A and B are shown apart, each in its own frame.
Chain A
Amino acid sequence: MAKITFDGIEVEVEDGTTILQAARKIGGKVVPPAMCYYTPLKGSGGKCRVCLVKVTQGSAKDPRPMPKLVASCITPVQDGMVVENTTNEEVLNARKGIVEMLLINHPLDCPICDQAGECNLQDLSYEHGVSATRYEEERRTFNKVDLGPYIQLHMTRCILCYRCVYTADQITEKRVHGVLGRGDAAEIGTYIENVIDNDFSGNVIDVCPVGALTDKTWRFKNRVWFTKPMDAHRDCPTCSGKVTLWGRGDEVLRVTARKDEYSEVEEFICNTCRFDKKEMSDWTIEGPRHIERASVISANHYELPVVNVPIVPNLPISTKKNLPQE
C-alpha cells in the first residue's frame, strides 16, 4: 500500500495505482480531467495532457520534486508522494493552455453536435477554457469518411485520443480503422474505404469523448438533455445486455452502455442491443438511471466555475487585450 497526499488530502491506495486513480478514490473537485485515458482500455492515456499534475515530492525515500508536470493517468504512485492539482497555479495554467490547444482546431459546432450535453471537451472547456480565442487562422478540415450504416465520423471534432483505436483492438475481433498521417493532419480512417462492421464496433461511439463518432440511428433525433435515461436489460446472447435507454415517452431514441461519473462504460454492449432494439417491448426496465450532473448543459448553467485563472498572467498588455476581461 502507498500513502499519498493529493491536494492536501491523504489517501491510501494499492502499489502501482496511477495518480489519477488515487485522485478518483478521493473524488469530487480535485480529480484531474481526462480526455484520452479510459480505465477499461489497456494502454490508453498520456496523450491529451489535460490531466497534468505537479509532483512536489517524489516519494518518502526520494523527496525531490519531479522536474516537469506529469500525466497523472499514467504515472504510478510512490509511497509518500505529494501531488498538487487544483492547488497549483502552474498546473492550472498548463491545463488552460492545453484546453486552448484542443480547441483551436475544434469546430465548436456544439449547437448542431449530437454529443453536446454529454461531451467531455465541452465540460472541460467550460471549466478550464477561456471564452475568447486567440486563434485567427483557418481551422483544419478533413474529407468525409464513410464508416458504414451505423457510425458517423466527424473528423473535424476529433481530438485524437486513440480511445476508439484501443477499443477496436481490445474488444473487437478485427480493427479496420486507425490513425493515418501525422501531426495535425493525423486522422482516424480506414485508409481504403472500409466499413467498420463488427458485433462490438458500436462501442467506439461510447468511448469517444467528443462528437467525432456518433450513432447514426440517433443522429439529430433529439438533444441529450431532453431525453430520459433508464436502466434496462435484455437477454442478449452476445453481451451482458445491461444498457441505458435514452427515450422520450414510450419512444426509445438511443441505447448506450452504462457509464459512470467519469464517462467510462461499466460493460461494453453489442451492436444488436445498441442499434436494433429500439422498442420498449425489447427491454425490461429497471428504473431511472442516475446521471452525474457534471455536464454543463445538464447542470443547466453556463457561468464560469470557480477554477479560472488567467491563462498567462504575466503577459504584456498588448496580448491581454485579446483575452476576455474577467
Chain B
Amino acid sequence: MGIKILTEHINVPGIETLEVYRKHGGYRSVEKALKTMTPDEVVEEVKTSGLRGRGGAGFPTGMKWSFLAKPEGVPRYLVCNADESEPGTFKDRVFMEKNPHALIEGMITSSYALGANTSYIYIRGELMFVLRILEKAIAEAYAAGLLGKNILGSGYDLDLHVAPGGGAYICGEETALLESLEGKRGNPRNKPPFPAVKGLFASPTVVNNVESIASVPWIVNNGGAEYAKIGIGRSTGTKLISASGNINNPGVYEIELGVPVEEFIYSDEYCGGIWKGKQLKAVVPGGSSVPILPANLITKTAAGEDRLMTYESLSDGGFVSGSMLGSGAFIVFDEDQCIVRNTWNYARFYHHESCGQCSPCREGTGWMEKVLHRIEHGHGHQQDIDLLVSVAKQIEGNTICPLGDAAAWPVASAIRHFREEFEWHIKHPKEATLPGAVYRGQLATIEA
C-alpha cells in the first residue's frame, strides 16, 4: 500500500461532517497557512512540491499560480473546476461526495495563497446531490468561522460559492467554464488573454481541478519537499485513477505516481486483472480524449521499457506509440470489445458536445461520427479509413479550444493501432454487424 494523501480518511463514517473531519486532522492547513505563512510562502511550497494539474493537461500548479496577474484594486478569483464529464472519469465526484470538507479546506488554503476573497466551485450540473453535500459542508464551515469574514482571527476574508453547470462537457474547458459562471453561453474564449490575466468578470483568475486543490492542504501541512519525494521524476505525488471497463475491481484508486501499468491492471490491490480471465486488448489510460493503446504498448513502451503510471512514461513515444495520463480515467478493454464500435461511441460523444463555435470542430466531429457510424453498421468503404485520418488531421490544432484535439485523437489513434479491425469491418460488413462480433486477428468469431 502506498501513501494515501487524498483518500486516507475517505471511508471514515461521518467524515462529511465538520466534527469528524476535524477530529482526523482536518483544517490544520488553514490554521497553519493563515497564522504562520504568507501567501507567497504557500505558493512557494506548492511550486516546490511539483504538483501538476490533475484535470488532464498536467501543467504545474505552482507555476500556474505564479503567473496570476496582481494588479492593484482588482479582485482575484480562484475557481475550482468540478465539471468532470469526460467519459470514464469519476474520481472528483467520489471524492467530493465522500469528503467535501477536504475540498473546502483546499479551497481556503489555495484562495489565501492567491489572495482571492471570493472563490467558486463550478460543479457539473448532473451532480446536484454532490452540490447539496458541498453546500451543507460550506454552511458548517461558515458556522465554524472557517469561511466568511476574518477567518480564525487572521483578518483574511473568503466567500465560497458552489455553482452548478447546465450539463455541457465543454464547460469543463476553463474559459468556457468562466463564461458559464458569468451566466453566458458556455463558449470557450479566444486566448490570449489567458484567465491568469483576464478571467472571471475580466479579473485575474486561476482555474484548478478538484484533485489539485485538494492536494494543497497536505503540501502545506507536510511541506512541498516532502510531497516531491512521492512519485518519480517530474510526476510527483499521488493521483486518483478512475478505473473502469472489463476489470475485476473497477473504482477509484489513489496511486503513487510511478506504479507500473502492468501492476495496476493485474494486482489485486488495484484493478485485479481482466474480467473473467480474458485477454487484455486495449487501454485508454487517461479519459476518452487521449489516444488508445493496444495491449502490447500499454505495458511496455516501444523501446521495451516497463510503462509506469506517470505523465512522462505514458506519453513516451509521442502519439505514435504513446498516450497521456490525462485526467486518470483508466478504461480497459478485453478481447471481446469492438474497437470500431468504441471509437464510434467516443466520436458520437464529441459530436454531441462540440459547442459549435469554430468550424473545424463543429463540422468535423459530426462528419467523423457519421463515417464511423457507417463503418460500424456495415456501410463503409475502404477509402473511409484514410478519410477519417485526414478529417482528424484537419481538426487537430486548428480549433479554439482543446475539444477539437480531444475529438481527433481517439479516432486517429484507433486507426493507427487497429487499422486491420477497421478494414475487416469494411470488407466483411455482414459478419461485422452481427451482435457481439469481434475481430480477432485473422479469424472472426462470434460469441453469443
Contacts and interface: CB of A to CB of B under 8 A. Distances in A.
A125 to B, nearest CB: 13
Most B C-beta atoms less than 10 A away, residue of A98, A140, A315: A98
Contact of A319 (B190, B351, B386): B386
A101 B358 CA distance: 10
B383 A184 contact: no
Contact of B398 (A97, A160, A162, A184): A97
Interface string A184-213: 111000000000000000000000000000
B371 interface: yes
A137 B371 contact: yes
A50 B363 CA distance: 14
Nearest to A162: B357
Contacts of B383: 318-319, 321-322
Interface in B347-375: 351-360, 362-367, 370-371, 374
A159 B356 CA distance: 10
Interface residues of A, number: 42
B203 interface: no
A179 to B, nearest CB: 7
Would you call the interface of chain B mostly helix, strand, loop, or mixed? Answer: helix
A248 B367 CA distance: 43
B399 interface: yes
A183 B367 contact: no
Nearest to A161: B359
A274 B444 CA distance: 67
A46 B400 CA distance: 7
A186 B359 contact: no
A100 B358 contact: no
A319 B390 contact: yes
A296 B367 CA distance: 28
Given A69-B398, A105-B363, A135-B367, A183 B352 contact: yes
Contacts of B161: none
A185 to B, nearest CB: 7
Nearest to A76: B192
B360 A101 contact: yes
A33 interface: no
Given A71-B190, A98-B398, A183 B390 contact: no
B292 interface: no
B57 to A, nearest CB: 14
Nearest to A90: B397
A316 interface: yes
A48 B359 contact: yes
A9 to B, nearest CB: 25
B393 interface: yes
Contacts of A179: 185, 356
A56 to B, nearest CB: 16
Nearest to A46: B190
B342 to A, nearest CB: 21
A294 interface: no
Contacts of B355: 182-183, 186
Interface string B182-224: 0001000010000000000000000000000000000000000
B190 A312 contact: no
B390 A312 contact: yes
A292 B273 CA distance: 69
Interface in B382-401: 382-383, 386-387, 389-390, 393-394, 397-400
Contact of B367 (A46, A137, A182, A311): A137
A181 interface: yes
Contacts of B354: 182-184
A184 B366 contact: yes
A34 to B, nearest CB: 13
A184 B359 CA distance: 9
A47 interface: yes
B386 A104 contact: no
Interface string A24-58: 00000000000000000000011111101000000
Given A140-B366, A183-B351, 18 more contacts: A45-B190, A47-B359, A50-B359, A69-B398, A97-B360, A97-B390, A97-B393, A97-B398, A104-B367, A137-B370, A160-B356, A181-B356, A183-B354, A183-B356, A183-B362, A183-B365, A184-B351, A312-B390
16 contacts: A49-B358, A49-B359, A49-B400, A68-B398, A94-B398, A97-B393, A97-B398, A105-B366, A134-B387, A140-B366, A184-B365, A184-B366, A185-B356, A315-B389, A316-B386, A318-B386
